[in-house]
Structure 1
Amino acid sequence: MAVMNMQHPLAFTFGILGNIISFMVYLAPVPTFIRILRKKSTEDFQSLPYLVALFSSMLWLYYAMLKNDEILLVTINSFGCVIETIYIAIYIAYATRESRVSTIKLLLSMNMGLFSLIILLTHFLASGSTRVKALGWLCVAFSVCVFAAPLNIVKQIIRTKSVEFMPFTLSFFLTLSAVIWFAYGLFIKDMCVALPNILGFVLGLLQMLLYGIYRNAEKKKIPAENLKSIVILGTLGASEVYPVDPQPDVSAAEHDQTEESKENEKSMEASHDDLQSIECAV
């Protein structure tokens, strides 16, 4: 494997910057897992963001290794695979039986089963540059599908006029990451790396625009039990998790509100910590 891709002198610079930002993004969930270790419970946290981030890192790592000369993609996604595996192991160790079983099922079916199928298909049905291109566009398709998640965020923000679960700093750094990896993709002449980050950049700008519009607006409260987490992935693995409101039942929310206030506060706190788990990378 070549030490680095030298197709453009700035490629290495942008690749290093992308690695630094993505490295910090991968470490964002650490406080969440310190809390899990201390309480010996996963509470209301979900494992899906970490499973998806691991799968994305595995895909991009496989793609980078097939290209032979993309050491900067290999480094960040290798780190992503390791750190996400640690997160998932901790989650499984302290999850309830039901959550543990569902997590293991997803891990076996997606991260092992589906990924193994992709390896077999690309190995036996394609070769050389065709194999690399096929896998690259598969990575693009996966990234684009996950990038569709912010549309639910936009709907929630407009309806509730609240950006409580969309920190500006988070959106800013993920937008910056998209710009850096887009530039890196252009410099190494790899559209599979560059293209998904165009969408990531546009959605990042939209999130920051909404933050500017609604940061001082009067907020509509959402019952904590109606909040669910969705994942927003960067092109190469790290993810961003937001709690969203799937059609809240107003009448149910108002029922016994005083009696359930403590339980709701606990759930809201867990959802906020889930937000900080930013799983991927380009």
Structure 2
Amino acid sequence: MAAGFLSMAHPAITLSGIAGNVISFLVFLAPVTTFVQVVRKKTTGGFSAVPYVVALFSSTLWILYALLKGNSRPLLTINGFGCGVELAYVVAYLLYAPRKARLRALAYFLALDVAAFAIVAAVALLGVAPEHRVKFLGSVCLAFSMAVFVAPLSIIFKVIKTKSVEFMPISLSFCLVLSAVAWFCYGYFTKDPYVMYPNVGGFFFSCVQMGLYFYYRRPSNAAVLPTTADGATGGGAVQAQVIELPPHAVAILSVSNIPILGMHKIEVMAAPEQQDAKAADIVDKAAPAPEAVEIAGTV
């Protein structure tokens, strides 16, 4: 079954294609803020060009597949846009990266986006019979897409090892889940297994990332707040003090009216001398029953 982009003869195909385009549009634009900082600072810092080179290669493969298959406007439009955006990212990287990183990125670009794409295109157009070209190129796209979806396993293992979600943006994972659902539906309704099956893996790994994010993002039971230095240590010394709070107590900072819930222990770092009396009052007033405790902070 084939369908044009805005043909309402098959509304399920049209709607899933539009949804896939809109969500993928947001995914492609996700690194814009990163490259705005790159242009402002005129350096790429320490991040790699590999994700952008790989995404560019993927877009060019899907464009070639859509052209050979025919009547696949949703695939053409979003991958045409993605090809332009990823190429812009690669060019920006090459302009602002340090010399070694620039040469490495250029080597990746020439090897994957130029040489590998040329080989795949040549084999598909010259080495495969016309009736098998779509199947051949679809298989290449499927295999490459699955490899891309499996790539986040390294980040998943890192999150489990470090118990930190610093390198796993939840907004991007959520968009990837929606994108996988939309393109799976598009592949299902158009009876295109090469679009449908990779997004099963994409949906699974994106859900795993989101689950890990919500599991490891739980706040710690310790909070750092300002208090005083012990007079015996000499006014300016910094000490740590632990204030035990009862379960389910509510700690309220005097400089804010936002309650901090679920904290059982507050680790307090030293501050000016005049706050000694207030810190002592807090310890004395801590009660075993759930209550609200005001903790005076410094501005």
| TM tier relative to shorter chain | 0.7 to 0.9
For the 8 Å contact 1:163–1:214, the answer to whether it is kept is yes
2:164 match: 162
The correspondence of residues 112-151 of structure 1 with structure 2, limited to 5 A, is 112-151=114-153
With over 3 angstroms needed to count, the CA separation of the structure-2 counterparts of 1:118 and 1:106, relative to structure 1, is same
CA distance in 2, matches of 1:52, 1:144: 13
CA distance in 1, matches of 2:3, 2:129: 20
The correspondence of residues 45-56 of structure 1 with structure 2, limited to 5 A, is 45-56=47-58
Deviation at residue 169 of structure 1 after TM alignment = 2.1
More strand by share: 2
Are residue 64 (structure 1) and residue 61 (structure 2) matched? no
CA distance in 1, matches of 2:190, 2:3: 14
Deviation at residue 163 of structure 1 after TM alignment = 1.6
2:44 match: 42
Equivalent pairs: percent with the same residue? 47
Q: Unpaired segments of 5 or more residues in structure 2? A: 222-299
For residue 34 of structure 2, what is the amino acid of its counterpart? Answer: T
Q: Unpaired segments of 5 or more residues in structure 1? A: 220-282
Deviation at residue 126 of structure 1 after TM alignment = 1.2
Deviation at residue 97 of structure 1 after TM alignment = 1.5
With over 3 angstroms needed to count, the CA separation of the structure-2 counterparts of 1:17 and 1:155, relative to structure 1, is same
For residue 150 of structure 1, what is the amino acid of its counterpart? Answer: P
CA distance in 1, matches of 2:89, 2:119: 24
For the 8 Å contact 2:66–2:72, the answer to whether it is kept is yes
Question: CA offsets per residue over residues 73-121 of structure 1, 9 Å max, x none?
Answer: 0000001111111111111111111111111111111100110011111
Q: Look at both structures and tell me which one has the larger radius of gyration over its CA atoms.
A: 2
Are residue 187 (structure 1) and residue 178 (structure 2) matched? no
With over 3 angstroms needed to count, the CA separation of the structure-2 counterparts of 1:163 and 1:69, relative to structure 1, is same
Tell me the matched-pair count: 219
By relative contact order (CA 8 Å, sep 6+), the higher-ranking structure is: 1
Deviation at residue 49 of structure 1 after TM alignment = 1.0
Deviation at residue 2 of structure 1 after TM alignment = 7.6
2:267 match: none
The correspondence of residues 1-282 of structure 1 with structure 2, limited to 5 A, is 3-4=4-5, 8-216=10-218
Deviation at residue 4 of structure 1 after TM alignment = 3.8
CA distance in 1, matches of 2:38, 2:155: 26
Question: CA offsets per residue over residues 203-233 of structure 1, 9 Å max, x none?
Answer: 11111222222211659xxxxxxxxxxxxxx
For residue 213 of structure 2, what is the amino acid of its counterpart? Answer: Y
For the 8 Å contact 1:5–1:188, the answer to whether it is kept is no
Question: CA offsets per residue over residues 218-259 of structure 1, 9 Å max, x none?
Answer: 59xxxxxxxxxxxxxxxxxxxxxxxxxxxxxxxxxxxxxxxx
For residue 126 of structure 1, what is the amino acid of its counterpart? Answer: V
CA RMSD of superposed structures (Å): 2.0
CA distance in 2, matches of 1:101, 1:211: 35
With over 3 angstroms needed to count, the CA separation of the structure-2 counterparts of 1:115 and 1:158, relative to structure 1, is same
CA distance in 2, matches of 1:95, 1:167: 24
Partner of 2:186, secondary structure, is helix
CA distance in 2, matches of 1:152, 1:91: 23
Give me the TM-score of the superposition, normalised by structure 1. 0.73
Partner of 1:42, secondary structure, is coil
2:225 match: none
